[in-house]
Amino acid sequence: MTEALLKHPRLISLEGGEGAGKTSALIAIRDLLQSHGHEAVLTREPGGTPLAERIRELLLSPHEEALAPETELLLMFAARAQHVREVIRPALQRGAFVVSDRFTDSSYAYQADGRGLDRALVEELERKVVGLKPGLTLLLDLDVREGRARANGRDLWPDRIESEQDDFFERVREGFRRRASAEPERFRVIDASRSPVEVGAAVSAAVARWLENQA
């Protein structure tokens, strides 16, 4: 079991509410990293390995039996433990950049701020099970209703978490914003209300500046 929490300069995460545009931001970051000659591994949470994707299914499909908040948290971390061991650490060890669509900040925002679980429990799991934190986190910040309207426009049935009420997502958004204010050296907050092209450009510019400062 790990005890130390290492901030890794080649681990980048994207965070935000639904409909914030993380998918195109991920592509913009990959293109930028590749243009600088870096290998970029794109991945997502919950998921990123075959087993973790099965846990994702369990987490996101609606069930007749309500999922306890603690079960939800532990399944998020079960998927993350597998993802870190099978994908993230090996990629970082060979010198690649890893860009993850969500990482542990989502567990703080959704399970601690959203569901009301004890933050200390999330901290302990982060330290003992994950041991890694991103060197850079881009928070795509967007009004909750606007994000939901975008996501609804996709014509997909809402998953179990997407079926929550607006007040849950407001707590999640506030939780992300508080984390960003508390760690300004790690977070870059991107206004995601703009067009996809403008958001992509803001994301690329933030990553490019960050890369320059690493050199």
**CA-CA distance, 157 to 19, in Å (whole number)?**
14
Q: Identify the bridge partners of residue 15 per DSSP, sorted by sequence position.
A: 139
- The owner of tokens 């041991």 is 131
Closer to ligand Z5A at the Cβ: 159 or 212?
159
Report the site for ligand Z5A in 53-72 (rule: CB under 6 A). none
30 binds ligand Z5A (CB under 6 A): no
116 binds ligand Z5A (CB under 6 A): no
Q: Are strands 6-16 and 97-101 parallel, antiparallel or unpaired?
A: parallel
Closer to ligand Z5A at the Cβ: 7 or 154?
154
161 neighbors 67 (Cβ within 8 angstroms): no
134 binds ligand Z5A (CB under 6 A): no
Using a 10 angstrom Cβ sphere, with 0-12 exposed, 13-18 middle and 19 or more buried, the burial of residue 93 is exposed
Q: Identify the bridge partners of residue 139 per DSSP, sorted by sequence position.
A: 15, 189
Q: Identify the bridge partners of residue 138 per DSSP, sorted by sequence position.
A: 14, 188
Q: How far is the CB of 18 from ligand Z5A (least distance, A)?
A: 3
Angstrom distances, CA of residue 18 to CA of 162, 169, 193: 8, 9, 12
Closer to ligand Z5A at the Cβ: 16 or 135?
16
75 binds ligand Z5A (CB under 6 A): no
Which range in 11-19, 33-41, 131-139, 173-181 contacts ligand Z5A by CB under 6 A? 11-19
Q: How far is the CB of 102 from ligand Z5A (least distance, A)?
A: 4
Q: List residues binding ligand Z5A (CB under 6 A).
A: 16, 18-24, 45-46, 76, 101-102, 106-107, 110-111, 150-151, 153-154, 161-162, 195-196, 199
